[in-house]
Amino acid sequence: MTAVTTAASTRRIAWTRRRRSLARFCREYAKSRAGMFGLCVLVLAGGAAVAAPLFISAHELSAVYAPGSPLRPPSARFPLGTDGYGRSMVAVTVWGARISLTVGFLATFMSIGIGTLVGITAAHFRGWADTVLMRVTDWFLVLPTLVLAAALASVLPRGVTTVVVAIGVTCWATTARLVRSQTLTVESRPYIERATALGAGHWHVMTRHVLPNVMPLVLAQTTLIVSEAILLEATLAFLGLSDPTKVSWGTTLQLARQVGAVSAGDWWVLLPPGLAIAAVALAFSLCGRTMESVLNPRLRERA
Residue 155 binds to other proteins (criterion: CB under 8 A): yes
Nearer to other proteins, 196 or 285 (CB): 285
Nearer to other proteins, 178 or 210 (CB): 178
The residues in 223-262 that bind other proteins, with binding defined as CB under 8 A, are 227, 231, 234-235, 238-241, 253, 256-257, 262
Closest CA to 224 of 183, 175, 259: 175
Residues 122 and 184: their CA atoms lie apart, in Å, by 9
Distances (CA, A) of 283 to 42, 91, 172, 212: 6, 22, 21, 26
Residue 297 binds to other proteins (criterion: CB under 8 A): no
Residue 123 binds to other proteins (criterion: CB under 8 A): no
Residue 36 binds to other proteins (criterion: CB under 8 A): no
Stretch that binds other proteins, among 1-9, 91-99, 132-140, 200-208 (CB under 8 A): 132-140
Using CB under 8 A, count the residues that bind other proteins: 50
The residues in 56-115 that bind other proteins, with binding defined as CB under 8 A, are none
CB 266 to other proteins: min, Å: 8
Closest CA to 270 of 83, 85, 42: 83
Residues 62 and 68: their CA atoms lie apart, in Å, by 11
Q: Provide the Cα torsion 42, 268, 149, 123; round to 10°.
A: -20
Q: Is 265 left (phi over 0), alpha (psi -120 to 50) or beta?
A: left
Residue 263 binds to other proteins (criterion: CB under 8 A): yes
Single out the residue of 129, 160, 282, 295 in contact with other proteins (rule: CB under 8 A): 282
Nearer to other proteins, 206 or 223 (CB): 223
Stretch that binds other proteins, among 104-112, 136-144, 198-206, 211-219 (CB under 8 A): 136-144
The residues in 182-211 that bind other proteins, with binding defined as CB under 8 A, are none
* Helix intervals (H) in 126-188: 127-142, 145-155, 160-170, 173-187
Single out the residue of 151, 160, 192, 295 in contact with other proteins (rule: CB under 8 A): 151
Answer yes or no: are the C-beta atoms of 124 and 210 closer than 8 Å: yes
Rounded to the nearest angstrom, the gap between the alpha carbon of residue 154 and the centroid of all alpha carbons in its chain is 22
Q: What are the percentages of helix, strand and coil residues in the chain, rounded to 5?
A: 80, 0, 20
Residue 278 binds to other proteins (criterion: CB under 8 A): yes
The footprint of other proteins (CB under 8 A) covers: 135-136, 139, 142-148, 150-152, 154-156, 174, 177-178, 227, 231, 234-235, 238-241, 253, 256-257, 262-267, 270-271, 273-274, 277-279, 281-282, 285-286, 299, 301-302
